[in-house]
């Protein structure tokens, strides 16, 4: 799968195989994050599989991913929900359209992403893919915010930065 490479102003400038883009000198590329809610208003947090290249075993938002060249980002969100969680979701709603971050993993791998943030609602039972997710919990948003505030090192850097900019709420 190719990821979309971006100029500094966010314009697509090419593509690169996903397995080649995440290095110690990662080019800016397109990604997304999604916060998934259940019908009780609880938020899904996931723990990244230990086999993940970056931030293995770290707690994070419900799921993340990369759109393919030519793929509308909302379709990529739905595709990743199915791949990572076995989930069917409501129409994703963008809540942080301009979120971007750069972070360096303990292994030296860099994430450098323009990463709009979405919320959606789960429409079925979860069936997590063990290659992506090693654990998950449904939590109250305020409990996640308190945990991230007290132990930011236990969470992905993008979640720490995203929660500093917004408080996730179910899509309406």
Q: Of the candidates 34, 55, 5, which has an alpha carbon nearest to the alpha carbon of residue 121?
A: 34
Which residue is catalytic, options 34, 84, 111, 113?
113
Q: Is 11 noted as a catalytic residue in this protein?
A: no
- Of the residues 34, 64, 84, 115, only one is catalytic, namely 64
Residue 129: count other Cβ atoms within 10 Å of its Cβ: 13
Per DSSP, the three-state class of 94 is strand
Complete DSSP assignment for 54-122: SSTT-EESSEEE-PPTT--HHHHHHHHHHHHH---BPPPEEEETT-EEEEE-TTSPEEEEE--EEEEEB
- The neighbouring-strand residues paired with 120 are 36
Q: Where are the alpha helices (DSSP H) in 13-156?
A: 18-21, 73-85, 141-150
Indicate which residues carry an active-site annotation: 64, 113
């Amino acid at each position: 799968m190719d990821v979309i490479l971006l100029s500094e102003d966010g314009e697509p400038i090419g593509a690169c195989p996903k397995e080649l883009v995440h290095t110690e000198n990662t080019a800016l590329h397109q990604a997304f994050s999604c916060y998934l809610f259940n019908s009780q208003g609880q938020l899904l947090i996931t723990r990244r599989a230990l086999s993940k290249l970056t931030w293995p075993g770290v707690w994070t938002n419900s799921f993340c991913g990369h759109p393919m060249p030519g793929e509308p980002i909302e379709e990529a969100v739905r595709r990743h929900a199915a791949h990572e969680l076995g989930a069917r979701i409501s129409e994703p709603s963008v809540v942080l359209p301009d979120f971007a971050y750069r972070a360096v993993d303990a292994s030296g791998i860099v994430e450098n992403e323009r990463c709009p943030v979405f919320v959606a609602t789960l429409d079925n039972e979860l069936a997590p893919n063990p290659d992506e997710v090693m654990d998950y919990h449904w939590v109250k948003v305020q409990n996640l915010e308190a945990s991230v505030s007290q132990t930011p090192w236990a969470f992905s850097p993008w979640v720490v930065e995203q929660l500093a900019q917004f408080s996730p709420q179910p899509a309406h």
